[in-house]
Amino acid sequence: MSEQIIKQKIQIPQEETPSSIDDGTTIVKNITTKTNHYLKELVENISERVHSSINSLQIINSLQQITHAYELPSFALTDDDLFAPITDKFLGDYSLKEIYYGLDKYGIKKELEARGYKDIIVNLDTSDYFVHKLCVTDKSLFSNSMIKNYNGQFLIDLFVRKKEFILSDFKTYQLLRRIESFHNEKFKDKQIEKIKYVDGFGASEIYKFMEHQLNDKYLLSLIEWICMQDPRSEFSKDKPQFPGQNHPGLRLGKKAGNLLISMAVHKGWDGLTNVPEHFHNAYVYHMLHYTFLNPAFQAYFDCLCDSLADDLRIHGLSAVSWAFCNGHVKNRNDEIEIWNPEEQIYPVSSKLRLYLDSRDYKRFYNIFYKRGYQVSIDWENAKEIWKFSLNHKFSEDAKHFGEDKPEDDKPKDIFHNEMVLLKTL
């Protein structure tokens, strides 16, 4: 067999074929060259992997500096986590009959009847393990014209979750940890960058205070969503639309709030909580004696209300809330003030009341309140929200904006009756 045929069968490239099969020196030289090449690649690969592992460990170490104080919830899944419990009771405690009784006892049924809703229906949806849903409607809303519009089919829509909280479950605590990290320049976060009421040092002091005070477990009723509306009513100059509304409110905020509080008290829960989506939601809950879990944020909220007192008096809560939504609220640096809410708490148990009444909570509140955080509304460039103002002359005739008005034209104080504000619920 020829040398050329042998080369083809063993597939040796021409350039790697030794000039003579018997030339041992050439073979040894090629083996040495290839061995050095492979060893070099192996060393480079190992070095790259070592550097990658070191970088990963550095990242993990940085993350541990943030999470070392967290009491993280267990990630073990039980059968109850995987399968929704079979229950007909709202939040596992209240039957449909008891819900009807509560609506009657707290005057909600009577108010609905006065508005012409005399055949109410209560529907409970307890199929979801986490969030239970309660819907109050009326048979009259299921006419041919109304049934096509989902938003017109209910009077009260409520999503509530009963949850046992530890400190790390609260959005407030998570935000404070992120604020501290942001100001220490470890991480960049566009959301945190917009938060101006507290710096990294202040955030650190507050969350450490919370770790010391809130080291227990708390069974809370978390109000995920609540909407109360009158589908037959229409918005007007005296009943302007609020952000998130499709129809005017029922003015049942206080009664509905008392019903939810009584449910928590009766079953021995620690309290109620919510994260107010809009500024007006926080204002209404504040009037129902909810307090922000974070003393610095409570001080910040009170400073906002102080700064905007004249705007609230002249234009009303709806217009001010729209100003936040549309970016017309500015801070001292002429930056847009973003509404970035935290948890409000209504304490039922003594351990939550003691926290909110504690000397340190009040001390932190006073420190941040005395800073006098101030904002203002740029009404001149907010023409799209003028229609929501309770100052009728202002909303009808833009050219009068900023002019002095006769005494008789000055708007009346809208806060003479807190139910004017509670209509948002």
Return the pLDDT at 14.
46
* Least trusted range by pLDDT, from 59-63, 188-192, 302-306: 59-63
* Torsion angles phi and psi, residue 377, rounded to 5: -110, 130
Average pLDDT over residues 51-55: 62
Relative orientation angle of helices 359-369 and 200-213, to the nearest 10 degrees:
160
Return the pLDDT at 338.
96
Residue type for position 7: K
Extended strands (E) in 119-175: 120-125, 132-138, 156-165
- The share of the chain scoring above pLDDT 90, in percent, equals 63
Contacts of 245 (CB under 8 A, 6+ apart): 227, 229, 424
Return the pLDDT at 29.
57
Return the pLDDT at 192.
83
The domain ranges of the chain are 78-166+217-422
pLDDT, tens digit (0-9, with 9 covering 90-100), for 140-156:
988 655 555 555 689 99
Query: Is the pLDDT reported for residue 168 higher than 60?
Result: yes
69 or 296, higher pLDDT: 296
Return the pLDDT at 19.
44
Helix (H) or strand (E) holding 351: helix 350-356
Query: Is the pLDDT reported for residue 321 higher than 60?
Result: yes
Return the pLDDT at 61.
55
Average pLDDT over residues 195-217: 96
Token digits for 245? Answer: 């509304």
pLDDT band of 88, cuts 50, 70, 90: confident
pLDDT, tens digit (0-9, with 9 covering 90-100), for 406-425:
333 333 333 333 434 444 44
* Least trusted range by pLDDT, from 25-39, 65-79, 365-379: 65-79
Token digits for 358? Answer: 């504690």
Token digits for 55? Answer: 């970088």
Return the pLDDT at 99.
97
Say if CB 160 and CB 89 are below 8 A apart: no
Say if CB 284 and CB 424 are below 8 A apart: yes
* Torsion angles phi and psi, residue 331, rounded to 5: -90, -175
pLDDT, tens digit (0-9, with 9 covering 90-100), for 363-386:
999 999 999 999 999 999 999 999
Query: Is the pLDDT reported for residue 403 higher than 70?
Result: no
Q: Specify the 3-state DSSP secondary structure of 199.
A: coil
Q: To the nearest whole number, what is the mean pLDDT of the chain?
A: 82
Token digits for 144? Answer: 């041919």
pLDDT, tens digit (0-9, with 9 covering 90-100), for 110-149:
999 999 999 999 999 999 889 999 999 999 988 655 555 5
Q: In 3-state terms, the chain is what percent helix, strand and coil (to 5)?
A: 50, 10, 35
Residue 274: name the closest of 262, 299, 252, 257 by CA.
257
pLDDT, tens digit (0-9, with 9 covering 90-100), for 385-400:
999 999 866 556 444 4
Return the pLDDT at 424.
44
* Torsion angles phi and psi, residue 360, rounded to 5: -70, -35
Average pLDDT over residues 80-102: 81
Give me the sign of the Cα torsion angle 7, 10, 12, 18: negative
pLDDT, tens digit (0-9, with 9 covering 90-100), for 240-282:
999 999 999 999 999 999 999 999 999 999 999 999 999 999 9
Contacts of 205 (CB under 8 A, 6+ apart): 364
Helix (H) or strand (E) holding 284: helix 279-287
Return the pLDDT at 17.
43
Token digits for 7? Answer: 């080369």
Extended strands (E) in 316-414: 329-331, 344-347, 375-377
Say if CB 321 and CB 379 are below 8 A apart: no
Q: Is the pTM of this model over 0.85?
A: no
